[in-house]
């Protein structure tokens, strides 16, 4: 067990770390940022996770649809997510050339974020919901901890353009949309038809199809938020904000 005592961790960054059951006692924490899968977080004796989740739901009502078991709600959630991404891609189109590959704060660039969602679709939807044993889309981007990436079809040296990634995303989005139009509650509650053998995600066996769809939609929502955050950091104007040099109504 790691123990830090009387240490100055100002400006420390913990990335892809497991802090389960971590205890911070007598600490000074100002202007700190926590971003990740947080459950049962107790601050000064108060469990705060439920407050955070409720506030996120208030700010982003689509989250309620994402967690639903009703196919109609899932369809509406996906429609809203696609509309949000379309608006954000519009922001990307208005940025200086090359900005789509620029990173902010050490996070993935916009293109890398979109490539990751290509991987999420292949792994959590095609493999876990459709039972596909085919290779993943080569330009998809997995997190570094995902093993056997090349064996699963990923090209770790790929450097696709924004248009190439959006083309793959368009095909995947249409596929998921068609599936959501016909899927039934019974099919959603069925065990995920994950193919036998190695492949990502290894822990999907035992989950339902619905749980896997929830992962896909939640990843879409979360990574859209990351992308918007980073566009703000890069100084890209938000939709509806008109610069002094730009006539009203012009993009």
Residue 130 falls inside a structural domain = yes
Q: Is residue 63 part of a domain?
A: no
249 within domain boundaries: no
Question: What integer best gives the mean pLDDT of the chain?
Answer: 91
More confident residue, 7 or 187: 187
With H, G, I as helix, E, B as strand and everything else as coil, classify residue 248. Answer: coil
Q: Is residue 50 part of a domain?
A: no
Residue 192 tokens read as 């995920």
Q: Which is more confidently placed, 104 or 242?
A: 104
| CATH number of the CATH domain containing 85 | 1.20.120.450
For residue range 37-67, list pLDDT tens digits in order: 888 999 999 999 999 999 999 999 999 999 9
- How do beta strands 42-43 and 46-47 pair? antiparallel
- Range of the structural domain that residue 119 is part of: 68-233
| Residue 55 placed within a domain | no
Q: Minimal CA–CA distance to 125: which of 215, 220, 223?
A: 215
Is residue 42 one of the residues assigned to a domain?
A: no
Residue 150 lies in a domain: yes
Q: Categorize the per-residue pLDDT at 16 as very low, low, confident or very high, splitting at 50, 70 and 90.
A: confident
d(CA 215, CA 8): 37
Asked whether residue 49 is domain-assigned, the answer is: no
Closest CA to 125 of 196, 194, 64: 194
How many domains is the chain built from? Answer: 1
In the predicted model, is pLDDT for residue 1 greater than 90? no
Supply the DSSP symbol for 146.
-
């Amino acid at each position: 067990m790691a123990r830090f005592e009387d240490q100055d961790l100002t400006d420390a960054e913990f990335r892809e770390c497991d802090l389960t059951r971590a205890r911070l006692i007598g600490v000074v924490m100002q202007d700190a940022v926590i971003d990740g899968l947080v459950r049962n977080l107790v601050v000064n004796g108060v469990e705060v996770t439920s407050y955070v989740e409720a506030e996120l739901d208030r700010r982003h009502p689509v989250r309620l649809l994402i967690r639903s078991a009703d196919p109609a709600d899932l369809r509406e959630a996906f429609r809203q997510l696609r509309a949000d991404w379309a608006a954000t891609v519009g922001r990307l189109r208005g940025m200086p050339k090359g900005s789509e590959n620029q990173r902010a704060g050490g996070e993935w660039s916009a293109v890398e974020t979109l490539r990751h969602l290509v991987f999420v679709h292949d792994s959590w939807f095609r493999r876990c919901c459709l039972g596909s044993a085919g290779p993943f889309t080569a330009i998809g981007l997995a997190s570094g901890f995902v093993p056997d990436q090349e064996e699963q079809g990923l090209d770790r040296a790929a450097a696709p353009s924004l248009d190439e990634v959006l083309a793959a995303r368009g095909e995947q989005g249409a596929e998921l949309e068609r599936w959501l139009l016909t899927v039934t509650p019974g099919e959603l509650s069925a065990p995920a038809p994950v193919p036998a053998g190695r492949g990502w995600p290894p822990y999907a066996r035992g989950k339902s199809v619905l749980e896997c769809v929830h992962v896909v939609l939640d990843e879409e929502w979360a990574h859209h938020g990351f992308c918007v955050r980073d566009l703000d950091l890069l100084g890209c104007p938000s939709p509806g904000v008109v610069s002094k040099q730009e006539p009203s109504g012009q993009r």
